[in-house]
């Protein structure tokens, strides 16, 4: 049974047992309705408790049932809510784990909510391109006020029991889920239950309308291009200005509109993509990950320091090694400054900062690392240096220690060859700044064992990262594609587009930052060195523009110099005719006649060549599935999740268009830009990525 029924001492307890997360699937809705009816019909029952079995309360509607026949069958969630809300016998939601989305909305229709201290509640529908469609936008402001409702529903954050109590979203924090919830229900029987939320507060009065206009303007940039947050604000405003019944009707219409949107489809694709990415088809379930309870990081630079913070923040003690006390001191200073900024911003407490720092040790000798479970090397990209380090690590750490490299492009097999344990060598590529960016691109060498892979894949969750497995090639999944994205941005500049147009198109599409503004931020002085090396190994049929070199020569190295592709006033970027003149000169020197671009062409040329390259990665098995590539780009490169990732988006736009662009560009760019065989096949057969593999 997906909902167990038990009655004792006048309290009926309905326990949802529907692993993994007790989602409100058809069987659960049927079970809940049957349980409520049974309890209402039983005269010996005086109160009803709803709880989750296993690890959690109810995680919301069953997303996998969306749009299916099952979602239309059986009692609707709203009917169950109505039964709970109008029950003459007090109803109590007893929460542990998480009460999310429709699960929390169900709890909001009980007469009271109690939760254990470790529980979390939330309305995360926004992350699926939706809004709470079962009264969440109507009942939350009635309990917690519009400010809290706006904040938690537009962010989808999981709110701790303590905070939820403070907001008035729950009524008590309890110790024992079963005993205390039943006792609470009996208390309601004895004292009389409060009326349901919407009855208590049919219409909210006295709210300053400026709350909504203010929130709209302060959050406009954050929610740029996203449909759901705007609709959520509208719903909460309606909830605060209309009767509950009207507000529920308003919410229902808005929910349906979002449900039909492409963004909802894209975000649900993305939700499952992130979970699918954890599954590695050839690793049997019998392979268990090694425990990671201690770590070391080699290199106290920006990357190494960030990775050390990731471990320390998640409670894993970490040794940081660098060659000199001076380098260590500098690294430590940067780490402390980063933490201090978080404390000043209020995103971290001083106590947590102190705890994290106390988990870090700074050492200069390999023998001081000790018997750690994993080492992540994060020094600069020099194969000889990395090999030396891995040989040292092989000598200085126990045989079972996993040796990982944070390299963003070098050959893992070559690195592994410096050790006697290539099965324990793996790429674990974090993105800068490592303590902020969520992607963890793990790279499989030819000798990497199943257990090593299972371990680094499992490591991601406790350290707050999203893992994807990539094969070993130059640039792995993400950076291999990036070359085409930034490369094409440059070619478009040379052919007549302006930096403003290219960045505007990328940003209005939803990229966190346009490719050229990103370069200005990173600083182009370092890229000139890397580009000089790349030029030497460039295939004979390819060329690179020299715009970056010309800008750097003119002192325009980026934001830190106040000028690059743009000129800067503080952090504000402004178009600069001087930069444009340099770009125009580069076009002339290359013999290219400048022309205008439509925004659509800019968009397609930015993303189609990299999608073509991604198709080659799929062909070669570098990426296991197209959706893994989406996860890489959303978490590592700021690709908008509400577009589903580059592969999902490209398929929506039409793979034939991707193919046409590759065909048109290849003769000018070189054979590496030629259409992927896989892309040609899919277009010829009228199929999508899902048919691959």
Q: Which residues are designated catalytic? A: 105, 125
Q: Is 21 in the site for ligand 3H9 (CB under 6 A)?
A: yes
Residues binding ligand 3H9: number (CB under 6 A) = 24
Site string for ligand 3H9, 548-587 (x = CB under 6 A): ----------------------------------------
Nearest-approach distance from CB 85 to ligand 3H9, in angstroms: 15
- The answer to whether residues 524 and 551 touch, using CB atoms and an 8 Å cutoff, is yes
Stretch that binds ligand 3H9, among 3-11, 132-140, 221-229, 498-506 (CB under 6 A): 132-140
Q: Is 23 in the site for ligand 3H9 (CB under 6 A)?
A: yes
Would you state the structure tokens that stand for residue 281, as one six-digit string?
């088809």
Output the DSSP codes for 463-518.
Answer: TT-EEEEEESSTTTTHHHHHHHHHHHHHHHHHHT--HHHHHHHHHHHT-SS-HHHH
How many whole angstroms separate alpha carbon 217 and alpha carbon 238?
A: 18
- Write down the residue that tokens 């609707």 correspond to: 76
Name the closest residue to ligand 3H9 (Cβ).
101
Coil vs helix vs strand at 7: strand
- Provide φ and ψ at 660, rounded to 5°: -60, -40
Stretch that binds ligand 3H9, among 125-133, 140-148, 180-188, 398-406 (CB under 6 A): 125-133
How many whole angstroms separate alpha carbon 675 and alpha carbon 406?
A: 31
Among 2, 91, 98, 406, binds ligand 3H9 (CB under 6 A): 98
How many whole angstroms separate alpha carbon 193 and alpha carbon 93?
A: 13
Stretch that binds ligand 3H9, among 96-104, 213-221, 386-394, 395-403 (CB under 6 A): 96-104
Nearest-approach distance from CB 60 to ligand 3H9, in angstroms: 3
Q: Is 125 in the site for ligand 3H9 (CB under 6 A)?
A: yes
Select 193 or 239, whichever has its Cβ closest to ligand 3H9.
239
Nearest-approach distance from CB 234 to ligand 3H9, in angstroms: 16
Q: Is 275 in the site for ligand 3H9 (CB under 6 A)?
A: yes
Nearest-approach distance from CB 63 to ligand 3H9, in angstroms: 4
Stretch that binds ligand 3H9, among 121-129, 258-266, 554-562, 646-654 (CB under 6 A): 121-129
Among 17, 30, 38, 64, binds ligand 3H9 (CB under 6 A): 64
Stretch that binds ligand 3H9, among 41-49, 55-63, 329-337, 635-643 (CB under 6 A): 55-63
Among 12, 77, 641, 678, binds ligand 3H9 (CB under 6 A): 77
Nearest-approach distance from CB 590 to ligand 3H9, in angstroms: 50
Among 16, 134, 459, 524, binds ligand 3H9 (CB under 6 A): 134
Among 47, 50, 61, 460, binds ligand 3H9 (CB under 6 A): 61
Residue 299 DSSP one-character state: -
Q: Is 500 in the site for ligand 3H9 (CB under 6 A)?
A: no
Q: Is 132 in the site for ligand 3H9 (CB under 6 A)?
A: yes
Q: Is 133 in the site for ligand 3H9 (CB under 6 A)?
A: yes
DSSP H helices in 126-174: 136-144, 146-155, 161-167
How many whole angstroms separate alpha carbon 264 and alpha carbon 228?
A: 9
First to last CA, the chain: 36
Select 29 or 573, whichever has its Cβ closest to ligand 3H9.
29
The 3 state secondary structure assigned to 175-230 is: CCHHHHHHHHHHHHHHHCCCCCHHHHCCCCCCCCCHHHHHHHHHHCCCCCCCHHHH
Q: Which residues contact 89 (CB under 8 A, 6 or more apart)?
A: 39, 40, 45, 46, 47, 48, 189
Q: Is 304 in the site for ligand 3H9 (CB under 6 A)?
A: no
Would you state the structure tokens that stand for residue 481, as one six-digit string?
């594609």
Q: Is 101 in the site for ligand 3H9 (CB under 6 A)?
A: yes
Site string for ligand 3H9, 230-269 (x = CB under 6 A): ----------------------------------------
Nearest-approach distance from CB 169 to ligand 3H9, in angstroms: 15
Nearest-approach distance from CB 71 to ligand 3H9, in angstroms: 9
Q: Is 93 in the site for ligand 3H9 (CB under 6 A)?
A: no
How many whole angstroms separate alpha carbon 439 and alpha carbon 368?
A: 30
Stretch that binds ligand 3H9, among 122-130, 147-155, 315-323, 387-395 (CB under 6 A): 122-130
Q: Which residues contact 684 (CB under 8 A, 6 or more apart)?
A: none
Nearest-approach distance from CB 25 to ligand 3H9, in angstroms: 8
Q: Is 62 in the site for ligand 3H9 (CB under 6 A)?
A: yes
Q: How far is CA 224 from CA 219, 407, 511, 634, 636, in A?
A: 8, 33, 10, 16, 19
Query: What number of other Cβ atoms are within 10 A of residue 263's Cβ?
Result: 21
Nearest-approach distance from CB 457 to ligand 3H9, in angstroms: 12
How many whole angstroms separate alpha carbon 551 and alpha carbon 629?
A: 32
Closest CA to 270 of 88, 92, 126: 126
User: Around 111, how many Cα atoms within 13 Å sit in the side-chain half-sphere?
Assistant: 23
Among 128, 268, 316, 454, binds ligand 3H9 (CB under 6 A): 128
- The answer to whether residues 131 and 274 touch, using CB atoms and an 8 Å cutoff, is no
Nearest-approach distance from CB 281 to ligand 3H9, in angstroms: 14
Select 63 or 334, whichever has its Cβ closest to ligand 3H9.
63
How many whole angstroms separate alpha carbon 432 and alpha carbon 406?
A: 11
How many whole angstroms separate alpha carbon 209 and alpha carbon 216?
A: 11
Stretch that binds ligand 3H9, among 126-134, 197-205, 207-215, 219-227 (CB under 6 A): 126-134
User: Around 437, how many Cα atoms within 13 Å sit in the side-chain half-sphere?
Assistant: 22
Nearest-approach distance from CB 78 to ligand 3H9, in angstroms: 7
- The answer to whether residues 84 and 50 touch, using CB atoms and an 8 Å cutoff, is yes
How many whole angstroms separate alpha carbon 345 and alpha carbon 489?
A: 35
Stretch that binds ligand 3H9, among 124-132, 142-150, 432-440, 567-575 (CB under 6 A): 124-132
Q: Which residues contact 533 (CB under 8 A, 6 or more apart)?
A: none
- Provide φ and ψ at 658, rounded to 5°: -60, -45
Q: Is 105 in the site for ligand 3H9 (CB under 6 A)?
A: yes
Residues forming the site for ligand 3H9 (CB under 6 A): 20-21, 23, 59-64, 77, 98, 100-102, 105, 124-125, 128, 130, 132-134, 136, 275
């Amino acid at each position: 049974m997906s909902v167990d029924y038990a009655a004792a001492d006048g309290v009926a307890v309905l326990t949802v047992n529907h692993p993994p997360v007790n989602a409100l699937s058809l069987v659960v809705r049927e079970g809940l309705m049957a349980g409520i009816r049974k309890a209402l019909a039983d005269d010996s029952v005086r109160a009803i408790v709803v709880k989750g079995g296993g690890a959690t309360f109810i995680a919301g509607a069953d997303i996998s049932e969306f749009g299916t026949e099952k979602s239309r069958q059986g009692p609707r969630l709203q009917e169950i809510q109505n039964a709970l809300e109008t029950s003459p016998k007090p109803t109590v939601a007893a929460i542990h784990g998480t009460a999310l989305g429709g699960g929390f909305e169900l709890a909001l229709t009980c007469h009271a909510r109690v939760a254990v201290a470790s529980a979390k509640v939330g309305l995360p529908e926004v992350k699926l391109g939706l809004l709470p469609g079962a009264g969440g936008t109507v009942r939350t402001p009635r309990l917690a006020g519009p400010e809290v409702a706006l904040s938690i529903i537009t962010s989808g954050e999981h709110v701790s029991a303590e905070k939820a109590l403070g907001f008035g979203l729950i009524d008590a924090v309890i110790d024992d889920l079963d005993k205390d919830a039943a006792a609470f229900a009996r208390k309601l029987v004895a004292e009389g239950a409060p009326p349901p939320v919407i009855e208590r507060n049919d219409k909210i009065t006295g709210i300053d309308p400026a709350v909504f206009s203010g929130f709209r303007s302060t959050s406009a940039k954050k929610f740029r291009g996203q449909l759901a947050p705007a609709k959520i604000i509208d719903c909460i405003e309606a909830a605060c200005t209309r009767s509950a019944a009207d507000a529920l009707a308003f919410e229902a219409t808005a929910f349906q509109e979002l449900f039909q949107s492409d963004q909802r489809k894209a975000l649900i694709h993305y939700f499952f993509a992130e979970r699918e990415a954890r599954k590695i088809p050839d690793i049997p379930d019998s392979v268990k990950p090694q425990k990671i309870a201690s770590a070391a990081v080699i290199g106290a630079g920006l990357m190494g320091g960030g990775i050390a913070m990731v471990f320390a923040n998640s409670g894993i003690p970490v040794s940081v090694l660098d060659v000199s006390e001076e380098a260590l001191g500098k690294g430590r200073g940067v780490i402390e400054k980063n933490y201090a900024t978080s404390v000043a911003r209020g995103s971290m407490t001083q106590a947590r900062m102190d705890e994290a720092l106390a988990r870090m040790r700074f050492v200069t000798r390999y023998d001081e690392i000790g018997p750690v479970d994993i080492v992540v090397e994060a020094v600069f990209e020099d194969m000889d240096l990395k090999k030396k380090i891995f040989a040292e690590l092989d000598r200085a750490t126990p045989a079972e220690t996993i040796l990982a490299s944070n390299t963003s492009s070098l050959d893992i097999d070559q690195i592994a060859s410096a050790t006697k344990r290539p099965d324990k060598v793996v790429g674990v590529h974090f993105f800068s700044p490592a303590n902020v960016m969520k992607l963890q691109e793990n790279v499989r060498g030819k000798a990497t064992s199943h257990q090593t892979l299972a371990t680094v894949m499992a490591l991601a969750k406790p350290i707050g990262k999203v893992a994807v497995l990539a094969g070993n090639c130059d640039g792995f999944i993400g950076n291999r594609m990036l070359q085409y994205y930034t490369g094409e941005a440059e070619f478009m500049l040379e052919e007549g587009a302006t930096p403003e147009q290219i960045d505007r198109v990328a940003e209005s599409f939803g990229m966190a930052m346009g490719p050229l503004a990103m370069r200005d931020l990173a600083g182009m002085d370092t890229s000139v060195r890397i580009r000089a090396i790349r030029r030497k190994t460039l295939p004979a049929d390819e060329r690179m523009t020299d715009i970056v070199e010309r800008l750097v020569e003119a002192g325009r190295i980026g934001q830190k110099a106040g000028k690059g592709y743009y000129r800067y006033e503080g952090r504000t970027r402004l178009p600069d005719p001087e930069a444009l003149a340099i770009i125009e000169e580069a076009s002339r020197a290359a013999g290219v006649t400048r022309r205008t671009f439509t925004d659509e062409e800019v968009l397609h040329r930015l993303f189609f060549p990299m999608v073509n390259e991604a198709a080659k990665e799929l062909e070669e098995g570098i990426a296991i599935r197209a959706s893994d590539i989406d996860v890489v780009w959303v978490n590592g490169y700021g690709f908008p999740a509400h577009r589903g990732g580059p592969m999902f988006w490209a398929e929506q736009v039409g793979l034939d268009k991707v193919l046409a662009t590759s065909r048109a560009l290849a003769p000018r760019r070189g054979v590496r830009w030629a259409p992927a065989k896989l892309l040609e096949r899919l277009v010829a057969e009228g199929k999508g990525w899902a048919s691959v593999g």
